[in-house]
Structure formats: structure tokens, C-alpha cells
Amino acid sequence: MSESTGSRHVRSLTGAPKQHDSELGSISRLTRDSFPILAGLSIKRLVLEPGSIREPHWHANADEIGYAISGTVLISILDNGSTFSSFTISAGQMFTIRSGSLHHIENIGDDAAEIIVAFSHERPEDFSLHAAFGEMTDAVLGNTYDLDASAFAPIKRDTSSPAIVKRTGPAVIPDTAGFNNPHKFDIEAQNPPLHHPYAYVKLARSQFWPSLEHLSMYSLTIADDGMREPHWHPTTAEMGYVHRGHARMSILDPDGTVDTYVVGPGDTYFVPKAYPHQIEVIGDEEIHFLIFFDQPTPGDIGYRASLSAFSRPVLAATFGVDLETLPEFPFTPNDPLLVAKRNPTDPVD
């Protein structure tokens, strides 16, 4: 749907050109090269068929945070200081991996696994273990592992990356893989910190997930009688992925132009720091957004609380009306973030 709007703030992630596409799965990415407005964030959709593996790799310039849409995967991580982790992730759960940490993602279930991943850089750089081995000679690798150089002759090596590979035989799952892990967060099991009959939000930020350093995410669900109030994030960019439903958004650019568009499943949008925007449901279905931020604890300023910061004469002068004409705005010391729809939805152009 976003392709027809021509909006510079929106791209389709599911419709993006695939970095990898085979019977093993697919990888679609939106970086600054394909989505020029991106800054400090980018996004990837990873689909793994049963038995497929996102090969061991690391990112040179970006942390990552992932959300499982479907399936069950095993994630193994080697962090700084020879710290190992291995754990499972299922639908509605999340993981985070620091920049430079070696990791793999392996589908250990019977169905396809789909994962949405955000990065803390608009152009993340990848290195694969396959390519890293291809860089070195047989002799160097033999010295590293105290083996004869000839031991590496049968292994075909180059500095390319297959991205997704196929496992032979059953998955090897550590007995501890189901335990809690600092890299893992069960966001959909969280009791929503903000909950209303018309909308609720679950929060993957450092307050609840201390492992986060450069990223966070909100799982936002809004019914047709709710709305994310107009707001802006003073020091935080926002990148959203539409999982379910259709919504209308409006963003104000600094030149005074208003970009209003409709997003649907598979779309990604980006809002730069401090740009005012809002989200409302279109139709009679609820929406579910994964909203990523480039800070571990994002903040915002809402329209509702903003008017409580000024006197009525100041507001009357600002809007060019008499005091008697000025609406009776409710005093709001703390922004609600989510509001109910009191009025009919504006027609969709």
C-alpha cells in the first residue's frame, strides 16, 4: 500500500528486494540505500524454513533487536570475554545482540520461522564466519587449531557469504536453552504497563530489559475505537513495522508540509527525531505495530500534555482566537499516550 502513496517516510519491507531468496528461506532489508530517510536505524525480515540456519555472523557497526512473528528458533551467541549464550525464541519473544558478537539463528521447529530485526545503524555491516575462514590460508588455520594444514583442504572457502544454510540431521539443542537469558525477553507475556479498553502497549526497554544499550521496542495494539495521540520524540527516531491491520499516519516536516499516508501489513515507516506524528486505525480491525527506537529508554511529548504547559492567553494568542473561543482543554500533567476516539474517523482520501 505504501508504494502507491509515494511517501518518503514509508517503504514495504515484505515487498523489498531480497538479499537472499531460496528454498531455505529469505532475507529482506531496508537500509538507507533503499530507504533514504533512515538515520540510526534499519530493519530486516528473516524467514527460515525448517532445518535452515542463518549462518554464524556478526555486525561490525550495529546492535540488533529481534521479534519472532512465528516459529521457534535457537540462537547461540559468543560475546566479548568468551561469554557463551544459547537459548530458544518463539512467537512473541525477543532477543538482542551487541555489535560485534558472533551469533547464529536456527529454525528448530516444524514450521517456517519469521523474525523482524532492527539495527542501530542505517547501513549495518555484516561479517560471516564462512567469509572469515575464507580470508585465512590453510597453514594459518592449521596453526590456530593445532592441526595440519591439509585438514582444511577439503573445505571449500572464499570470502562470500551464503547467508542461509541447511542443517544436516536433527538440531543440537542445549539442555539449558529454555532458561531465561539476559539476551532474551518475553514481551508478549508482559502485563501491559499501559492498558485501556481501546488500546494497550507492551514495552521492551531498559527499564524492563536491562541488556538493551542502543535500541528498544514497543508492541502497540490499538482497536478501531482508539488512537495513538499526536506526539513527538525529542531525542529519539522511530521506525515501525506493521504486523496486522491498516492505519493512517500524518507527519509534519520542518518545511511545513504534511505527509499523510495509509500503512498496511508488511510496511515500515520512519519518523526522524522530534517530528510530530500520530497513528489511527482505518477500518474495523485492530492494528499491531512493532515500534523500534534508537535509544534504550525512548521519551515523548504528547499534544495533550503540551497545552497544559502554557496559560490560556498564550494559547489564544498562539492559535489566533479570542479567549472565549478557545476550547476548554483538559489539564494533563501526564500524557496518556493512548486515547479513545470520540469522533468519527476522517474520510480516507
Predicted confidence (pLDDT) at residue 5 exceeds the cutoff of 60: no
Mean pLDDT to the nearest integer, 135-164: 95
Over residues 254-270, the pLDDT tens digits come to: 999 999 999 999 999 99
Q: Is it the case that residue 171 has pLDDT exceeding 50? A: yes
Q: What is the pLDDT of residue 4?
A: 42
Quick one: CATH architecture of 187-301?
Sandwich (2.60)
The pLDDT > 70 percentage for the chain reads 99
Phi, psi values for residue 200, rounded to 5°: -155, 160
What is the pTM (predicted TM-score) of this model?
A: 0.95
Supply the pLDDT for residue 60: 97
83-116 pLDDT tens trace: 999 999 999 999 999 999 999 999 999 999 999 9
| pLDDT recorded at residue 1 | 38
pLDDT of 70 above 50: yes
pLDDT class of 3 with cuts at 50, 70, 90 = very low
Say if residue 299's pLDDT is above 60. yes
Q: Is residue 303 over pLDDT 50?
A: yes
Give the domain 2-174 fold: Jelly Rolls (2.60.120)
Domain boundaries, the chain: 2-174, 187-301
Give pLDDT, residue 152. 95
pLDDT of residue 284: 85
Least confident of 5-9, 272-276, 277-281, 296-300: 5-9
- In tens, the pLDDT along 199-239 reads 999 999 999 999 999 999 999 999 999 999 999 999 999 99
Mean pLDDT value of segment 165-185: 95
Give tens-digit pLDDT for 42-65: 999 999 999 999 999 999 999 999
